[in-house]
């Protein structure tokens, strides 16, 4: 299963490198309130692959690899993809609906919080292992205390919160689907 995990991470990393290699892509892919509201819905997914600079990308990719290394075995690849999609769409839609003053957003960090919440929640539901409970507690503490800036860039805290909530919602949908399949 490690090859699937690293293929998933490599795919996300590769997609995140595209705008660095082709800077004009960022303009077409970043989450922008006015363009998102005009029907450019692909930005709900693509914005999570756009980064302010290489340092922003590096921190997000390190977070992705850490989440995948610690929690990957809790879900299969299909469920991991569902969790990713729910987190990305959840962050984008909640930002659009609940943050009217936010004009643009970029980065993978909101999705990372969704993956963290969903994978750790799945581990807790499966095993009741203290490691997963601790991971969820650390996530809750991190969400409760977040600085307004990290290094040189602004942090949209609420995107992390929306990501974690979307990841947990994704986990609920995954579990409902698994339960439905068992009943069939």
Residue 50: which of 95, 109, 107 has the closest Cα?
107
Domain count, the chain: 1
Task: Give pLDDT tens digits along the chain (184 positions).
Answer: 567 777 777 777 777 777 777 788 888 889 999 998 899 999 999 999 888 788 888 888 899 889 988 998 898 889 999 999 999 999 999 999 999 999 999 999 999 999 999 999 999 999 999 999 999 999 999 999 876 555 566 789 999 999 999 999 999 999 999 888 777 6
* CATH code assigned at 104: 1.20.1540.10
Task: Provide the pLDDT for residue 147.
Answer: 64
* Residue 164 near residue 148 (C-beta atoms within 8 A): no
Beta bridge partners of 14: none
Task: Provide the pLDDT for residue 120.
Answer: 97
How far apart (Å, rounded) are the C-alpha atoms in residues 27 and 52?
Answer: 12
Task: Provide the pLDDT for residue 149.
Answer: 52
Where in the chain does DSSP place strands (E)?
31-32, 104-105, 149-150, 153-154
3-class DSSP state for residue 152? coil
Q: 162: domain range?
A: 2-183
Task: Provide the pLDDT for residue 7.
Answer: 79
Task: Provide the pLDDT for residue 168.
Answer: 98
- Torsion sign, CA atoms 88, 89, 92, 95: negative
Task: Provide the pLDDT for residue 10.
Answer: 79
* Residue 132 near residue 87 (C-beta atoms within 8 A): no
Question: In degrees to the nearest 10, what's the CA dihedral of 81, 87, 90, 93?
Answer: -90
* Residue 44 near residue 93 (C-beta atoms within 8 A): yes
Task: Record the pTM.
Answer: 0.89
Token readout for 74 is 């809790």
| Secondary structure percentages of the chain, helix, strand, coil, to 5 | 75, 5, 20
How far apart (Å, rounded) are the C-alpha atoms in residues 2 and 157?
Answer: 31
Task: Provide the pLDDT for residue 113.
Answer: 97
Task: Provide the pLDDT for residue 138.
Answer: 96
């Amino acid at each position: 299963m490690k090859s699937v995990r690293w293929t998933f991470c490599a795919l996300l990393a590769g997609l995140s490198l595209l705008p660095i290699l082709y800077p004009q892509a960022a303009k077409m892919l970043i989450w922008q309130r006015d363009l998102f509201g005009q029907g450019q819905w692909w930005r709900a997914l693509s914005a999570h692959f756009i980064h302010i600079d290489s340092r922003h990308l590096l921190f997000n990719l390190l977070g992705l690899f850490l989440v995948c290394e610690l929690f990957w075995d809790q879900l299969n690849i299909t469920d991991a993809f569902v969790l990713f999609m729910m987190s990305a769409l959840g962050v984008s839609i909640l930002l659009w609906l609940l943050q009217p003053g936010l004009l643009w957003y970029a980065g993978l960090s909101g999705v990372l919080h969704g993956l963290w919440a969903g994978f750790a929640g799945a581990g807790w539901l499966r095993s009741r292992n203290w490691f997963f409970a601790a991971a969820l507690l650390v996530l809750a503490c991190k969400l409760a205390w977040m600085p307004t800036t990290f290094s040189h860039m602004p942090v949209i805290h609420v995107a992390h919160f929306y990501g974690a909530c979307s990841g947990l919602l994704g986990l609920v949908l995954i579990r409902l689907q698994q339960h439905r399949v068992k009943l069939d």
